[in-house]
Amino acid sequence: MLNGALIGCGFFAQNQLRAWAEAGDAGIVALCDRDAARLAATAARFGIARTYDDAAEMLARERPDFVDIATTVASHVPLVTLAARAGVPVICQKPFTETLAEAAELVETCRRAGVKLMVHENFRWQAPIRAVRRVLDEGEIGQPFWARIAFRSAYDVYAGQPYLAEGSRFIIQDLGIHLLDVARFLFGEVTTLAARTQRVNPRIAGEDVATMMLGHAAGVTTVVDCSYASAQERELFPQSLIEIDGARGTLRLGADYELVVHADGATRRETVAPDEARWGPAPWHGIQHSVFDIQEHFIACLRGGREPETSGADNLRTLALVEAAYLSAQRGGAPVDPAAL
Ligand code: NAD
Ligand code: 89V
């Protein structure tokens, strides 16, 4: 059994703790939060007796097998550094850091300390996205040449995560980051990115709409578009809709996780929904199971000495896309080469 410690008992940590509670050979034995009320409520909810208001003290006393950092981005640099110094393997929530330079420094710090580092970049672990990747890997629609990854919603994310309304950066840094990572996961590295952003909701500080066009080294063109200002007849939060055109046919991941593959003149349909009974309540079941899967992956990597798929080093490339998108938007949509950042 691997004993973990978790820092940050806020909104999303509840999902992480639910998943840890189901893990077979790992669990959380100690919690830390500076907010005493949140700490106490979370400790009671998950039956975790050992609690701390100071992360350094927790790591020194508990000497855990890993630490799960579930705080917001501003605290990631000091907390990951602390874990590296204590020699404790780390999972850190996205966005990993506010700047690419800080992220590169943390990756180097962990490398030098010999500490495994994974970013909790979970969208690519969603069952429908894994199903899309399988279709591509099996060559069913041939070589892809065009794709769209879309997330359009009017779900009130600010109710659960009020800080999302406050930062000068919003949708690309919080949600677009997941979709850009999915684009990398499906089609490989990106050599050019052009973006346009908009703010529709006047009550928030950052952008709530972003449209990005990516050129992948493998030749695919991907449109990644996201919005939290799009009220539709049916609210599909948190579903990502995916369209891919390939040399032999097309793939569509539509509403309610319906996957339609049309290739060589024949069409097949399949539902690739996560199990609501197991991962509910809806609509967060669409995300919850991916939290379980990414945490299982981390434990398997710890046990097997493997590098996690979304290691800190890998995540630098996703963060570069985020930076490229903001830079391109600032430059009026001019294309940016993420490798040059
Ligand atoms: P939150 O503000 O609800 O919770 C963060 C908690 O961390 C707070 O209780 C705060 O007191 C605590 N904290 C902050 N700094 C601390 C420190 N140094 N020591 C101890 N405690 C500290 O935030 P949230 O909505 O839970 O988001 C946390 C992170 O999870 C964010 O980075 C967010 O982007 C990410 N997130 C990811 C997903 C996903 O699907 N991967 C979904 C939602 C949120
Ligand atoms: O996944 C996330 O990072 C969340 C949400 C889906 C609400 O954007 O913040």
CA 335 to chain centre: 24
Amino acid present at 6: L
pLDDT recorded at residue 280? 85
Per-residue pLDDT tens over the stretch 76-110: 999 999 999 999 999 999 999 999 999 999 999 99
Confidence bin at 138 (pLDDT 50/70/90): very high
Confidence of residue 272 (pLDDT cuts 50, 70, 90): very high
Q: Identify the residue whose tokens are 């009130």.
A: 156
Dihedral through CA 108, CA 112, CA 116, CA 117, nearest 10?
Answer: -20
Q: Report the side by side order of strands in the sheet with 209-216.
A: 190-198, 209-216, 221-227, 144-152, 241-246, 249-253, 258-263, 266-271
- Whose Cα sits closest to atom 7 in ligand 2? 157
From ligand 2's centre to the CA of 91, what distance in Å?
Answer: 17
pLDDT for res 281: 87
Residue appearing with tokens 């992948």:
216
Q: State yes or no: pLDDT of 307 exceeds 90.
A: yes
Q: Which two tokens stand for residue 263?
A: 């290739």
pLDDT band at 155 (very low <50, low <70, confident <90, very high): very high
Taking residues 288-313, report their average pLDDT: 97
CA distances for 257 relative to 126, 240, 269, 270, 271, angstroms:
11, 9, 10, 9, 6
Tokens at 216, concatenated: 């992948």
Question: What letters, b where the CB count within 10 A reaches 16 and e where it falls short, cover 98-111?
Answer: bebebbbebbebbe
Query: What pLDDT is attached to residue 277?
Result: 84
Residue having the nearest C-alpha atom to atom 5 of ligand 2:
175
User: Measuring from each residue's beta carbon to the nearest atom of ligand 1, which residues come in under 6 Å?
Assistant: 7-13, 32-35, 38, 55, 70-73, 75, 79, 93-94, 120, 122, 161, 163, 174, 287
Rounded distance from Cα 223 to ligand 2 centre (Å): 20
For 198-256, write each residue's pLDDT tens digit. Answer: 999 999 999 999 999 999 999 999 999 999 999 999 999 999 999 999 999 999 999 99
Cβ-in-10-Å burial (0-12, 13-18, 19+) of 202 comes to exposed
Contacts of 13 (CB under 8 A, 6+ apart): 6, 42, 70
Cα(294) to centroid(ligand 1), Å: 17
From residue 251, give the alpha-carbon distance in Å to each of 255, 259, 269: 13, 7, 10
Please report the ipTM that was assigned to this predicted complex.
Answer: 0.99
Three-class DSSP category at 300: helix
pLDDT in the model for residue 63: 98
Q: What is the mean pLDDT of the chain?
A: 98
Q: Report how far ligand 2's centroid is from the alpha carbon of 46 (Å).
A: 23
Q: In what order do the strands lie in the sheet with 90-93?
A: 50-52, 26-32, 2-7, 66-69, 90-93, 117-120
Report d(CA 223, CA 140) in Å as an integer.
21
Percent of the chain with pLDDT over 90: 96
Distance from the CA of 11 to the center of ligand 1, in angstroms?
A: 7
- One-letter amino acid identity for 316? L
Rounded distance, CA 161 to CA 44, Å? 22
For the CA of 160, the nearest atom of ligand 2: 7
Q: What's the rounded mean pLDDT across residues 135-151?
A: 98
> What is the SS3 assignment for 34?
coil
Residues near ligand 2 with C-beta < 6 Å? 157, 161, 174-175, 178, 238
Domains parsed from the chain with CATH numbers: 2-115 (3.40.50.720), 124-287+318-340 (3.30.360.10)
Pairing of β 2-7 and β 26-32: parallel
Q: Considering only CA atoms, which residue is closest to atom 2 of ligand 2? A: 175
Residue 276 pLDDT exceeds 90: no
Q: What is the mean pLDDT of residues 182-202?
A: 98
Output the pLDDT for position 15: 97
